[in-house]
A and B are shown apart, each in its own frame.
Chain A
């Protein structure tokens, strides 16, 4: 662990000092944790009855249903957003000005607006024209969530793909044209496959964002995991207290496990991609995560490069 350049391999004196700091640091963190635990205990959040609710079949079914609806929304939104992303990326690179402008405008608008507002507006729109659009039951909330996620993440995926397509060496495109391929053929058979391969880690990292954003269904009262957890926590009363803490612990663990599984996949693919030498650099797995879910245009244009 002495590989960092920021500090020397500790000598005897520094080792003692580090050990003191270690103990003090650990005690400080521990102190906060212990205080939180004591306070929660005083509120009765650690009573066995409080945690016994998870032995209830109804509670377990609710959580399972919540996970399933979350995954259902995620799966649909992921597939649709990738399709939309490919479409928009091709649109942005089109030779026809109106197509290019439309795609650019669409991407810019929906990337700039908070996803929550897009979803909420769609929801109200669907509610207003419920009968005309043929929605029934919670279909309005479901489709508002799915379509909102699709529009927003599709716009982001489009930028990711575009960066990937631009990163493909120019010779590839020229060679394909020289073979007499049409524009569509060049795009579909030569450029997009290589772009997807180079950008796969970034694409999957953006899927993690999509997965996390399914929890926005909570705001439009769609019954995904977070909403059902909150409903249960609000309705169940144990010893005069609501089991918010147990519910949030369980929900948090489920969310973190799902997201980390996806992130691990991205990292694995990144490491695999580094092994082969194709001349197209494979993107960092954590890129869109590190940059939040909004990627500045100028930074996506040249991955790793300076702006302007």
Chain B
């Protein structure tokens, strides 16, 4: 019981750390995911192949393995001396982007055929059709799966704690090393995650209601 009161600063830091890593990788995943979804429906075969390979590889790889790559291989190739936060964000963002891509792609498929046909008959190009007609309409159907994806992302961010990023899991490790009962730590950490995931699903439900239109 006293764990929370005695170590409020640590808990707060961990909570903010989880929020930060989740938000940062969510943005990365969203940008990458939409881009790759665009690749996958584009008329250019190499980009399509790249998109398919990206999704297949990342969806079938354990996230822990991606973290290993990010922390042990990437610094050798590209940016040595990058902070753990950025590396963890890269691993989480890339992993999640493959799920975002599939959600967006199935969302694109739900937009009525006539919309794209009408856009084309107006002489719009592929990128114009996608940007101005299809994606805005796909947004509505993509929201519910995106909400689940971001909830999963929040929970996956715990792995970053095992790779020296300060967040809730690293806090629970720190405090259990100090000899506090794991039961109470678990309960408080669980509560913190519940707060975050409920906020996410609530925010998405609000967004859905806002964007709802009769079709």
Chain A interface residue count, CB cutoff 8 Å, equals 69
Q: Is the CB of A291 within 8 A of B63?
A: no
Q: Which residue of A lies closest to B60 (CB)?
A: A259
Q: Is the CB of A299 within 8 A of B144?
A: yes
Known: A216-B64, A233-B72, A307-B144. A114 touches B46 (CB 8 A): no
Most buried by A among B102, B116, B159: B159
CB distance from A66 to the nearest CB of B (A): 12
Q: Is the CB of B44 within 8 A of A18?
A: yes
Q: Which residue of A lies closest to B121 (CB)?
A: A8
| Contact for B158 among A4, A35, A40, A114, CB less than 8 A | A114
Contact with B along A282-303 (1 / 0, CB 8 A): 0000100111111110110000
Known: A7-B43, A39-B78, A256-B60. A294 touches B129 (CB 8 A): no
Does B35 sit within 8 A of A, measured CB to CB? no
| Contact for B99 among A43, A260, A263, A292, CB less than 8 A | A292
Does A117 sit within 8 A of B, measured CB to CB? yes
Does A143 sit within 8 A of B, measured CB to CB? no
Q: Is the CB of A5 within 8 A of B117?
A: yes
Q: In the complex, A124 Cα to B64 Cα: how many Å?
A: 20
- Give the residues in chain B near A244, CB-CB below 8 Å: 68, 72-73, 76
Most buried by A among B77, B108, B154: B77
Does B84 sit within 8 A of A, measured CB to CB? no
CB distance from A291 to the nearest CB of B (A): 4
Chain B interface residue count, CB cutoff 8 Å, equals 72
Contact with B along A1-25 (1 / 0, CB 8 A): 1001111101000100010011001
Does A251 sit within 8 A of B, measured CB to CB? yes
Contact with B along A210-254 (1 / 0, CB 8 A): 001111101100000010001001000000001011001001100
- Give the residues in chain A near B116, CB-CB below 8 Å: 5-6
B133-151 contacts to A, CB under 8 A, are 134, 144-145, 147-149, 151
- Give the residues in chain A near B45, CB-CB below 8 Å: 1, 22
Known: A25-B50, A124-B176. A219 touches B162 (CB 8 A): yes
Residues of B within 8 A of A (CB): 41, 43-47, 50, 56-57, 59-65, 68-69, 72-73, 76-78, 96, 99, 102-103, 106, 108, 113, 116-117, 120, 125-126, 129-130, 134, 144-145, 147-149, 151-159, 161-162, 168-169, 172-173, 176, 182-183, 185-186, 189-190, 193-194, 197, 201, 205, 208-209
